[in-house]
Amino acid sequence: MPDNFVQTIDLRKTYNMGETEVHALDGLDLSIPSGSFTVIMGPSGSGKSTLLYLVGGLDWPTSGEIHVDGLEIGRMDENALADYRRNKVGFIFQSFNLIANMSAEANVAFPLRFAGIKKKDRVVRSEELMEKVGLRDRIGHRPTELSGGQQQRVAVARALVNDPPLILADEPTGNLDTASGVAIMSMLDELRKMGKTVLVASHDLRMLNYATHRIYLMDGRMVDEQQYLESISIS
Amino acid sequence: MRIVDLLSLIADNLKRRKGRVALTAIGVIIGTAAVVTLISLGAGLQESATSQLWGINDLSNVEVYPGYPDMMGMGMQTFTEDDIKKITPDVVAQFESMPGVQRVIIKQRVNTGIEIRLDKLMAWGSIMGVNLDDLADMGVQANQGITDVSGKNTVVVGSWIKNNFYDPNQRPGDEPLELPELMGQTLKVDFVKWNSDGTETRKSMRLEVVGVLAETRGEADYNIYMDWDEVLKLNDWVAGRRVDYNKQGYDNVTVKATSPEVVIDLAQQITDMGFQAYTPQSQVQSINSFFTIMQVVFGGVGAIALLVAAIGIANTMAMAILERTREIGIMKAIGATNNNILSIFLGEAAGIGFLGGVGGFLLGWAICGLINLLAGSYLASQSGGGTTLATSIPVWLPLFSIVFATIVGLISGLYPALSAATMVPVDALKYE
């Protein structure tokens, strides 16, 4: 594994909002080491989520480069990106993004369908992960029958089902109560200890307790901790 | 993605929106049922029309008559005896040597009027000779007696001959006479010829009826068949000399083909030789092409109903994709390719078409059954039985209707599925 698992070079993402251009990312150069727990802090609109989506291959940059595990994903076509998302990345969202009509276990196993895994093996794998996130007894429940914390644990299990090296989490504790939030954070910490590279966008300051690396973003640019703290104290 | 997983996912997705899928499928059901019913109705009409055609069992026959010159554009000119293309023994031999010909049956009438008497009854008729000992060889069957006409002073009569008898002394108001049973009767037949001086000469014969033919719905119903040599002798008597058929030609021949497939071609060859050739098959063919057009038109009317159903599917799928935009985003985020998404949504649209196709065929089948039942009882009440089938479902129609409805679904789903497949993942995920 290369030392810098994720690297961006002069990364830009510009949205056209009618007449005006919004620079969500404005020339970002960053390196994220392999096996790190990196927290991206920043206020709303700072470009945290945009960065995460670009690294996750869910969107294309306007310009610049994104290298993940030696792959330049900014220029990949949709098929190659789908392959990348399936094998290299596990996503965890603020709003869980589970499919409402599927059982918890089916949600966890869902990515394996697109990977062409047989049903028998899917069941074994998803049960194992449901066990791991402590929801063995909730296998047949629908997402609506689970608490927010439980839903997010299902989402974590789903993110791990293809055993990807990179875990991306976008405000994973944003919709959770304090205790559930802590549980998710320590779960992410566990993943780092297993050797995965964890990249979390958050403005939950508790997340910093688990961080091995921190990135502060403001208006699509990296700033140092001092500048960031000043900006939030003013607001 | 494995095909079995794709299919189970499609089935699950359809199941979770049962109500809407059912409503959309109803449109397809109605459309397919209309197509099935109308095509079956067309096919049924075609069957009953062709089965009523004359001599449907004579599809391998070509009836050949002498050829007359084309009178069109000839002005006031008349044609002479020499212009007529006659069926001479040489021509018969020529026909016999043509490939695809099984045999040639010569038909020759006695060329004069006859009077038939049976007790007090009289009848008219026409004596026909064929160069066969047994009429069964030309495809007719006996209703009573035998079909062998080679016996001395015997005849075999067509099924309608008895209807020709009348009572010359009947007065108005008398009970209509009962038609005679001809089998086994001896007919007194007078052949009448008119001489050039205006006098008539008669020749009487007593002929025993040894067979009555089964109805053919053809000319055989109206003929009295007699031994071939006897007919030729009578014609010599009528002409007052030996008739030279090399000069005069025969009335008509039936060219029997080895199989119905070659008949049209054979008739064309004979026509090209200058003779008049008729085959029931050309009639069947033109009727068939008429009914094929009718079925296409009927099917087209049904297809309009299917078109409306197709718009329904497209609408349902477009709505589904709007509602499931986030789900599409999730699927992409966890590794679904554009092709996966396309297959899922196309599969759902085709699935609705398939369900509608199966349901529509069953409904159409039921409607056809109902039509047959109602038409059957109506016709029975009108004519006292002997009804023909009103609809007939062609064997290819079940598969065709289901496949067609599925394809309609697939095509309707194409645009919505494409727009789902090409969504940018992040936009789909952010969709509220």
Contact yes or no for B130/B138 (Cβ under 8 A): yes
Does the beta-carbon distance from B9 to A113 stay under 8 Å?
A: yes
Kindly indicate the confidence band of residue A63, based on its pLDDT and cuts at 50, 70 and 90: very high
**Residue A122: how many CA atoms within 13 Å on its side-chain side?**
19
Among A49-58, B123-132, B327-336, whose mean pLDDT is lowest? Answer: B123-132
CA–CA dist A57, A19 (Å, integer): 27
Q: Which residues of A touch B338 (CB under 8 A)?
A: 78-79, 82
Sheet containing A221-223: give its strands across.
A89-92, A166-170, A197-201, A37-41, A213-218, A221-223
Q: Which residues of A touch B340 (CB under 8 A)?
A: 82, 114
pLDDT digits (tens, 9 = 90+) for B62-104: 889 998 876 555 555 666 777 788 999 999 999 999 998 988 9
Residue of A nearest to B340 (CA): A114
Look at chain A and count its residues.
235
- pLDDT of B382 reads 66
Among A121-130, B135-144, B183-192, B338-347, whose mean pLDDT is lowest? Answer: B135-144
Position B152 pLDDT exceeds 70: yes
The alpha-carbon gap from B348 to the nearest alpha carbon of chain A, in Å, equals 16
Kindly indicate the confidence band of residue B210, based on its pLDDT and cuts at 50, 70 and 90: very high
The pTM of this model reads 0.71
- The residues spanned by each domain of chain B are 3-54+286-430, 60-278
Among A10-14, A205-209, B255-259, whose mean pLDDT is lowest? Answer: B255-259
The alpha-carbon gap from A224 to the nearest alpha carbon of chain B, in Å, equals 28
> In this predicted complex, what is the ipTM?
0.94
Contact yes or no for A162/A87 (Cβ under 8 A): yes
CA–CA dist B2, A113 (Å, integer): 7
DSSP for B390-409, written as a single string: S----TTHHHHHHHHHHHHH
CA–CA dist A184, A167 (Å, integer): 13
- pLDDT of B376 reads 75
By DSSP bridging, strand B224-226 and strand B127-130 are parallel
Instruction: Tell me the average pLDDT across A170-193.
Output: 94
Does the beta-carbon distance from B336 to A82 stay under 8 Å?
A: yes
The alpha-carbon gap from A85 to the nearest alpha carbon of chain B, in Å, equals 5
- pLDDT of A62 reads 95
Residue of B nearest to A89 (CA): B334
Position B194 pLDDT exceeds 90: no
- pLDDT of B171 reads 79
Which domains, from first to last, does chain A contain?
4-234 (3.40.50.300)
Does the beta-carbon distance from B1 to A91 stay under 8 Å?
A: no
Which residues from B are below 8 Å from A when comparing CB atoms? Answer: 1-2, 5, 9, 12, 16, 326-327, 329-340, 424-426, 429
- pLDDT of B58 reads 67
pLDDT digits (tens, 9 = 90+) for B271-325: 898 898 888 777 777 777 888 888 888 888 888 888 888 899 999 999 999 999 9
The alpha-carbon gap from A104 to the nearest alpha carbon of chain B, in Å, equals 15
Residue of A nearest to B13 (CA): A101
Kindly indicate the confidence band of residue B51, based on its pLDDT and cuts at 50, 70 and 90: low
Contact yes or no for A76/A67 (Cβ under 8 A): no
Q: Which residues of B touch A116 (CB under 8 A)?
A: 1-2, 5
The alpha-carbon gap from B405 to the nearest alpha carbon of chain A, in Å, equals 28
Between the CA of residue A195 and those of A30, A80, A188, A202, B324, what are the distances in Å? 20, 25, 11, 21, 35
Cross-chain CB nearest to B327 (options A78, A99, A162): A99
pLDDT digits (tens, 9 = 90+) for A144-164: 999 999 999 999 999 999 999
- pLDDT of B383 reads 55
Evaluated on CA atoms A201, A205, A210, A212, the torsion sign reads positive
Burial category of A7 from C-beta neighbours within 10 Å (exposed 0-12, middle 13-18, buried 19 and up): buried
Q: What is the dihedral of CA A153, A156, A157, A161, to 10 degrees?
A: 170
DSSP letter for B214, please. P
> Long-range pairs for B381-390 at CB < 8 Å and ≥24 separation?
B388/B47, B388/B48, B388/B51, B388/B52, B389/B44, B389/B47, B389/B48, B390/B41, B390/B44, B390/B45, B390/B48
- pLDDT of A120 reads 95
CA–CA dist B366, B90 (Å, integer): 60
* pLDDT mean across residues, chain B: 86
H or E stretch covering B114: strand B113-118
Cross-chain CB nearest to B337 (options A82, A97, A119): A82
Q: Which residues of A touch B2 (CB under 8 A)?
A: 113, 116, 118
Between the CA of residue A220 and those of A42, A74, A132, B14, B291, what are the distances in Å? 9, 17, 37, 43, 73
Position B164 pLDDT exceeds 60: yes
Does the beta-carbon distance from B331 to A114 stay under 8 Å?
A: yes
> What percent of chain B has a predicted confidence (pLDDT) above 70?
93
Contact yes or no for A127/A92 (Cβ under 8 A): no
Contact yes or no for B59/B218 (Cβ under 8 A): no
CA–CA dist B102, A100 (Å, integer): 76
- What single letter denotes the amino acid at residue B306? L
Position B213 pLDDT exceeds 70: yes
Of B85, B19, B24, residue with least CA distance to B311? B24
Largest CA distance in chain A: 56
Position B386 pLDDT exceeds 50: no
Quote the Cα angle for B235-B237-B243, to 5°: 50
Does the beta-carbon distance from A82 to B426 stay under 8 Å?
A: no
- pLDDT of B67 reads 86
- pLDDT of B78 reads 66
- pLDDT of B385 reads 44
CA–CA dist A93, B332 (Å, integer): 14
DSSP letter for A66, please. E
Cross-chain CB nearest to B336 (options A98, A101, A114): A114
Does the beta-carbon distance from A101 to B329 stay under 8 Å?
A: no
* pLDDT mean across residues, chain A: 93
Q: Which residues contact B316 (CB under 8 A, 6 or more apart)?
A: B20, B21, B24, B352
CA–CA dist B367, B33 (Å, integer): 8
